[in-house]
């Protein structure tokens, strides 16, 4: 069954218009620019003669010789361990039937896109002109030295059963027919959730299956493995109920599900049933069938693109129905993309010899359990702000939920190791962390900071404690032992939000309403003492302390909190003002903001992106030194480029002159720091250009700290890389303060809050701040 990412319906367009528009869009999408949907990209540098000599002859001979001694070394010296064949003979493509292997190629390419997108698995699509079972198996088996696994796709039944069973016996790498098992695993997970909501025991429910093809038979087998009793399952095909003694249209696979029943039609079988599973065709279920089912009926109408009965029609027939389809515009989408990328990820990472029933079962149970967990804000944002909670309209995780990788792949890997089919063993905690880093480049960069933050307990205050994003971030921070959050805001509403969002681990967290706090008068006195010679009266101090940003700043200044993170709902200038007035900058230092810009292969530090509009040479030197210290905190040796439109005096003007002066100031203060300027970006980032054109440059390697001449250029640069270049950003980290305070980008994500809070916490117990 194909994965479907159907866009929401447009009520103002006719079916004919929609079909015509979608056809034109799809053809244009596949034909524009580079044809198709995939390409091969080298993973090693190929820029020099030396690179080419290593990539191919003569250097390539060395790994060849090692693999010749031990074939397992192919997993070390080639891409085999992360390479899957998506293979079809084109005999059952989507709902299009036997259209041949060439016509199947767009589907196989699309499957490769999903493997890469969701699990970072590389794919070659293999389209084989072989309808004969023996010929097809011979071809597939001969491919084993190339791949880490085989995903069979769109092979018609019953041949698909024979092909998979034979290849699993004869091959020593995972072979998985997704049309069978993908639908079974995902719908099985949905079934577990639906039964819990319906209050029914899987061993007692009556199940009716419409369809007798690959997915229907695989689903039926899987449901039996989950606990459905054989005598409680009825299968129906185009000839009617498959009953004991029926001869017409039978084969050995259907015969396994022949029932001892008097029912002869789908309508008769559905009467009183608890579960109705459709792996058949559009319109197969009627409203009368749904009405005839038992209480709280579970209906999975999985025909694509049009289900056996539409979601609105099923709900109209029975308000108590728990409904799932294969469509993305209805609740509870049974989408195979929740399975195959992550099942193969887990199997490849332990180098499994096969994908066992236990591994499939582990994937289903992991998905079912994940559906019961709180859904993060990032998932809601991916679906237009819609909120999800385990219920009749949310029994299975959403396809764009990034947590699926972290739940399913480790569960599959563990089942492979427990079942004795894994060639290598992994520590599951370390494995999950590796998956997190693979999934998020910024998480990889933040790894050392998270570790530093966990070394000592710290208290970080959040002035916007009544915002759902802050509460979700606080849950993660507490759960991961990164810091102890202090939430500012109205106590009762925050407690209500915690309960409504089911953030159980925030129970007992410190919540403070400034005006009702026992420390209110003490903070008023302290603020007046700090600001009385800046025009602040005692009465004005009383008013300001009611502001949560001032209250939080005073908590940090007095030592009642170790750090503060604010600015989610406030403009940067307004959010930074209280910390600057209360916490203040260190003597002789200035405040500055740094973004850590994470690209595919590395990360850089951009300064000053948030505070100083047109800094002097002295200020630029101070920013460079503080940012270099921040780089060291991330375990990076800083190499600083003082950027300009000029390189080493190639152009005149006040900007280049100021950057040259700043460079000299930095060198005088820190002669051992690798810094150069003024210079342009392409020179700062190319060792070859510097070596050939500017051999006198003191940058021995490419720069990783970029100091911009003004706020305009720095702010535009990081945002362009984030929005246009696909970089991830961490920050902004506020430099120069007496104590750790950071100001968020307004409206940022929960993960951005977690990252900045971790930096705040880590700096809080690092002793004297140097940046």
Catalytic residues: 56, 111
Locate 582 and state its tokens.
């209360």
Cα separation values, 427 from 27, 116, 414, 424, 480, Å = 46, 24, 9, 10, 18
Locate 753 and state its tokens.
């809050």
Nearest partner of 749 among 380, 499, 369, judged by Cα: 380
Nearest partner of 352 among 729, 84, 645, 647, judged by Cα: 84
- What are residue 488's DSSP bridge partners? 512
Task: Report the distance separating Cα 342 and Cα 324, nearest Å.
Answer: 21
How wide is the angle at C-alpha 7 spanned by C-alphas 324 and 104, nearest 5°? 85
Cα separation values, 353 from 7, 66, 175, 571, Å = 38, 22, 9, 55
Q: Considering Cα of 90, then 94, then 99, then 104, what sign does the dihedral take?
A: negative
In the sheet that holds 639-643, the strands lie side by side as 674-679, 639-643, 705-707, 603-607, 592-598, 728-735
Nearest partner of 677 among 658, 653, 701, judged by Cα: 658
Task: Report the distance separating Cα 451 and Cα 347, nearest Å.
Answer: 29
* Pairing between β-strand 149-152 and β-strand 83-88 as defined by DSSP bridges: parallel
Q: Give the 3-state secondary structure of residue 727.
A: coil
Locate 172 and state its tokens.
């020593």
Task: Report the distance separating Cα 497 and Cα 471, nearest Å.
Answer: 8
Those residues with Cβ within 8 angstroms of residue 141's Cβ, 6 or more apart along the chain or in another chain? 167, 170, 171
The helix (H) or strand (E) run that includes residue 640 is strand 639-643
In the sheet that holds 175-177, the strands lie side by side as 122-127, 83-88, 149-152, 175-177
DSSP string, 425-476: ---HHHHHHHHHHHH-HHHHHHHHHHHHHHTS--EEEETTTTSHHHHHHHHH
Task: Report the distance separating Cα 40 and Cα 368, nearest Å.
Answer: 35
Task: Report the distance separating Cα 694 and Cα 55, nearest Å.
Answer: 30
- Contact by Cβ (8 Å): 750, 472: yes
Task: Report the distance separating Cα 379 and Cα 389, nearest Å.
Answer: 11
* Pairing between β-strand 563-566 and β-strand 459-462 as defined by DSSP bridges: parallel
- Contact by Cβ (8 Å): 227, 196: no
Whether the bond between 58 and the residue before it is cis, its omega within 30 degrees of 0, is yes
- Contact by Cβ (8 Å): 400, 338: no
Locate 337 and state its tokens.
């993309």
- What are residue 276's DSSP bridge partners? 208, 299
* Cα of 379 vs its chain's centroid, Å: 9
Phi and psi angles of residue 278, each rounded to the nearest 5 degrees, phi first: -110, 115
CA atoms within 13 A on the CB side of 480: 22
Q: Considering Cα of 404, then 163, then 307, then 191, what sign does the dihedral take?
A: negative
Task: Report the distance separating Cα 498 and Cα 504, nearest Å.
Answer: 7
């Amino acid at each position: 069954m194909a994965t479907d990412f159907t866009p929401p319906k447009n009520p103002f367009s006719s079916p004919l218009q929609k079909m015509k528009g979608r056809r034109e869009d799809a053809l244009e999408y596949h034909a524009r620019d580079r044809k198709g949907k995939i390409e091969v990209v080298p993973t090693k540098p190929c820029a020099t003669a030396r690179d080419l000599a290593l990539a191919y002859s003569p250097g390539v001979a060395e790994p060849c010789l090692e693999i010749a001694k031990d074939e397992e070394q192919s997993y070390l010296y080639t891409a085999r361990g992360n390479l899957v064949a998506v293979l079809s003979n084109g005999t059952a493509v989507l709902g299009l039937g036997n259209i041949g292997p060439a016509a199947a190629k767009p589907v196989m390419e699309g499957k490769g896109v999903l493997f890469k997108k969701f699990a970072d698995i590389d794919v070659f699509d293999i389209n084989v002109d072989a309808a004969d079972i023996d010929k097809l198996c011979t071809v597939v088996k001969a491919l084993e030295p190339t791949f880490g696994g085989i995903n069979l796709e769109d092979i018609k039944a019953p041949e698909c059963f024979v092909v998979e069973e034979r290849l699993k016996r004869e091959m020593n790498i995972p072979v998985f027919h997704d049309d069978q098992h993908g639908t079974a695993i995902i719908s099985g997970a949905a079934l577990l959730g639906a039964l819990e909501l319906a209050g029914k025991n899987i061993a007692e429910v009556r199940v009716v299956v419409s369809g007798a093809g690959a997915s229907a038979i695989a689903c039926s087998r899987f449901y039996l493995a989950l606990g459905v009793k054989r005598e409680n399952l009825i299968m129906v095909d185009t000839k009617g109920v498959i009953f004991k003694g029926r001869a017409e249209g039978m084969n050995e696979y259907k015969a396994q599900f022949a029932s001892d029943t008097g029912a002869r039609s789908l309508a008769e079988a559905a009467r009183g049933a608890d579960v109705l599973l459709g792996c058949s065709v559009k319109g197969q279920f009627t409203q009368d069938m749904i009405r005839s089912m038992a209480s709280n009926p579970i209906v999975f109408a999985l025909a694509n693109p049009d289900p056996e009965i539409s979601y609105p029609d099923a709900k109209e027939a029975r308000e108590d129905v728990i409904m799932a389809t294969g469509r993305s515009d209805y609740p509870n989408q049974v989408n195979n993309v929740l399975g195959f990328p992550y099942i193969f990820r887990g199997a490849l990472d332990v180098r499994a010899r096969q994908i066992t029933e236990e591994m499939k079962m582990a994937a289903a149970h992991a998905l079912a359990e994940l559906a019961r967990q709180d859904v993060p804000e990032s998932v809601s944002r991916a679906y237009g702000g819609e909120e999800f909670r385990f219920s009749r309209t949310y029994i299975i995780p959403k396809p764009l939920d990034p947590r699926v990788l972290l739940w399913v792949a480790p569960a599959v890997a563990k089942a492979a190791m427990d079942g004795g089919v894994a060639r290598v063993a992994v520590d599951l905690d370390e494995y999950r962390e590796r998956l997190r880093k693979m999934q998020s480049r910024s998480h990889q960069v933040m790894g050392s900071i998270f570790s530093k933050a966990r070394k000592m307990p710290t208290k970080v205050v959040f002035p916007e404690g009544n915002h759902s994003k802050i509460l979700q971030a606080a849950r993660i921070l507490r759960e991961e032992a990164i810091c102890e959050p202090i939430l500012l805001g109205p106590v009762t509403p925050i407690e209500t939000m915690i309960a409504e969002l089911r953030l159980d681990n925030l129970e007992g967290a410190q919540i403070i309403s400034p005006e009702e706090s026992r420390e209110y008068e003490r903070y008023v006195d302290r603020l007046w003492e700090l600001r009385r010679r800046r025009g602040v009266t005692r009465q004005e101090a009383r008013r300001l302390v009611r502001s949560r940003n001032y209250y939080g700043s005073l908590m940090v200044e007095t030592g009642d909190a170790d750090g503060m993170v604010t600015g989610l709902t406030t403009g940067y200038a307004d959010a930074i003002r209280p910390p600057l007035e209360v916490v203040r900058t260190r003597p002789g230092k200035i405040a500055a903001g740094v973004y850590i810009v994470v690209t595919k292969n590395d990360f850089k530090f951009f300064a000053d992106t948030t505070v100083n509009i047109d800094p002097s040479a002295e200020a630029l030197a101070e920013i460079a030194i503080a940012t270099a210290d921040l780089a060291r905190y991330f375990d990076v040796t800083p190499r600083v480029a003082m950027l300009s439109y000029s390189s080493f005096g190639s152009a005149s003007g006040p900007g280049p002159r100021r950057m040259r002066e700043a460079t000299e100031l930095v060198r005088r203060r820190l002669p051992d720091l690798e810094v150069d300027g003024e210079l342009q970006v392409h020179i700062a980032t190319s060792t070859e250009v510097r070596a050939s054109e500017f051999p006198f440059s003191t940058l021995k390697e490419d720069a990783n700290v970029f100091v911009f001449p003004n706020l305009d250029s720095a702010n535009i640069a990081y945002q362009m890389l984030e929005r246009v270049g696909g970089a991830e950003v961490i920050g902004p980290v506020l430099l120069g303060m007496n104590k750790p305070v950071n100001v968020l980008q307004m409206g940022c994500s929960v993960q951005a809050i977690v990252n900045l809070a971790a930096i705040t916490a880590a700096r809080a117990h690092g002793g004297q701040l140097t940046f």
